[in-house]
Amino acid sequence: MRLRVTPGRWIALLIAGGLVVVALSTYTGRSEFCGSCHDAMGEHYRSWAESSHGDLAECLDCHSEPGWVGYYHGKLEGVQNALSYWFHVRKRTKAPPPGPAACLRSGCHDEGDLTGAASGGASAHAIHAERTACVRCHGDIGHRPSELETAVDCTICHGGDEE
pLDDT tens digits, 87-98: 888 776 766 677
Identify the three-state secondary structure at position 150: coil
Write down the H helix ranges in the chain.
7-28, 31-34, 38-50, 59-62, 68-86, 100-103, 121-128, 134-137, 155-158
Predicted confidence at residue 163, as pLDDT, reads 46
For 23-34, give the DSSP string.
HHHHHHTSHHHH
pTM, two decimal places: 0.67
More confident residue, 7 or 134: 7
Q: How many CB atoms lie within 10 A of CB 49?
A: 15
Name all domains of the chain by residue range, CATH numbers in brackets: 7-158 (1.10.3820)
